Amino acid sequence: MNRTIKWVLIIGGGLIVVFVAALVLIPRFIDVKRYKPQIEAEVSKATGRTFTLGDDLRLSLFPWVGVSFSDLHLGSLPGFEEKDFVVVNSFDVRVKLFPLLFKDIQVKRFILNGARVVLETRKDGRVNWELKAKSEPGVSQKTPQAVEESPGDVTGTGLVLKGLTVGELAVTDGSVVWLDHGKKTRKEISDISLRLQDVSMDRPVRLTFSARLDKQPFSIQGSVGPTGKVLGKGTIPLDLTASILGQMDVGLKGNVVDPAVRPKFDIDVQVSPFSPRKLLDAMGKSFPVATSDPRALSLMALKAGIKGDAEKVSVSKGVMDLDGSKLKISMEAGNFSKPSVSFKCDLDQIDLDRYLPPPSPEKRVEKQPKTAAAQVKKKTDYSSLRRLSVDGTAKIGSLKIKGAKIENVHLKIMGKHGVFNLRPMTMALYQGDLSGYGRFSVQTDVPRTNVQVTLNSVQAGPLFTDVLKKDFLEGNLKANIDLTMTGDDAKQIKKTLNGNGNLLFKDGAIKGIDIAGMVNNVQAAFGLAEKAGGTQRTDFSKLDVPFTVKQGLVNTTNTTLISPLIRLTASGTADLVSENLDFRVEPKFVGTLKGQEDSQERSGLMVPVLVTGTFSSPKFRPDFERILKQKIEKSLPDLQKQLLSGDGQKGEPQDIGEQIKGLLKGFGN
- SS3 at position 167: coil
Task: Return the pLDDT at 586.
Answer: 85
Structural domain boundaries, residue 567: 405-623
**Contact (CB, 8 A) for 416 and 390:** yes
One DSSP character per residue, 515-569 reads HHHHHH-HHHHTTSSPPP-S--EEEEEEEEEEEEEETTEEEEEEEEEE-SSEEEE
Is residue 341 in some structural domain? no
pTM: 0.73
- Name every residue whose Cβ is closer than 8 Å to that of residue 415 and which is 6 or more positions away in sequence: 388, 389, 390, 421, 440
Task: Return the pLDDT at 598.
Answer: 43
Digit-coded pLDDT (tens) for 349-361: 999 999 999 876 6
Q: Are 641 and 653 part of one and the same domain?
A: yes
Task: Return the pLDDT at 486.
Answer: 95
Q: Are 498 and 572 part of one and the same domain?
A: yes
Digit-coded pLDDT (tens) for 145-189: 443 444 444 445 555 666 667 778 899 999 999 999 988 888 899
pLDDT higher than 90, residue 269: yes
- Taking the chain, what is the end-to-end CA distance rounded to the nearest angstrom? 147
pLDDT higher than 60, residue 376: no
- How would you classify the pairing of strands 340-351 and 389-401? parallel
Residue at 112: amino acid letter: L
User: How buried is residue 508: exposed, middle or buried, by Cβ count under 10 Å (0-12/13-18/19+)?
Assistant: buried
Most confident of the following: 134-148, 278-292, 397-411: 397-411
| Spatial separation of the C-alpha atoms in residues 170 and 197, rounded to whole Å | 9
- SS3 at position 27: helix
Task: Return the pLDDT at 458.
Answer: 96
**How much is the average pLDDT of 218-229?**
88
**How much is the average pLDDT of 347-373?**
72
Digit-coded pLDDT (tens) for 501-527: 999 999 999 887 776 665 555 545 555
Ranking 152-156, 300-304, 399-403 by mean pLDDT, the lowest is 152-156
| Spatial separation of the C-alpha atoms in residues 75 and 116, rounded to whole Å | 12
Digit-coded pLDDT (tens) for 32-42: 667 788 888 88
Q: Are 630 and 569 part of one and the same domain?
A: no
Q: Are 585 and 653 part of one and the same domain?
A: no
Q: Are 611 and 629 part of one and the same domain?
A: no
| Spatial separation of the C-alpha atoms in residues 589 and 610, rounded to whole Å | 18
- SS3 at position 199: strand
The percent of residues above 70 in pLDDT, for the chain, comes to 73
Task: Return the pLDDT at 216.
Answer: 86
Digit-coded pLDDT (tens) for 542-572: 999 999 999 999 999 989 999 877 788 999 9
**Contact (CB, 8 A) for 313 and 271:** no
3-state secondary structure 356-368: CCCCCCCCCCCCC
- SS3 at position 451: strand
Digit-coded pLDDT (tens) for 576-608: 999 999 999 888 766 554 443 443 444 445 678
Ranking 321-325, 436-440, 627-631 by mean pLDDT, the lowest is 627-631
3-state secondary structure 287-331: CCCCCCCCCCCCCEEEEEEEEEECCEEEEEEEEEEECCEEEEEEE
The percent of residues above 90 in pLDDT, for the chain, comes to 45
pLDDT higher than 60, residue 142: no
Q: Are 445 and 592 part of one and the same domain?
A: yes
Q: Are 600 and 471 part of one and the same domain?
A: yes
Strand partners, 511: 537
- Name every residue whose Cβ is closer than 8 Å to that of residue 98 and which is 6 or more positions away in sequence: 63
**How much is the average pLDDT of 411-431?**
94
Is residue 89 in some structural domain? no
Q: Are 523 and 650 part of one and the same domain?
A: no
**Contact (CB, 8 A) for 439 and 421:** yes
Q: Are 518 and 661 part of one and the same domain?
A: no
Task: Return the pLDDT at 148.
Answer: 42
225-to-201, 231, 325 alpha-carbon distances in Å: 7, 11, 37
Ranking 24-33, 35-44, 174-183, 386-395 by mean pLDDT, the lowest is 24-33
Is residue 518 in some structural domain? yes
Ranking 41-50, 70-79, 161-170 by mean pLDDT, the lowest is 161-170
Q: Are 528 and 634 part of one and the same domain?
A: no
Is residue 380 in some structural domain? no
Task: Return the pLDDT at 135.
Answer: 44
Task: Return the pLDDT at 158.
Answer: 55
The mean pLDDT value of the chain amounts to 80
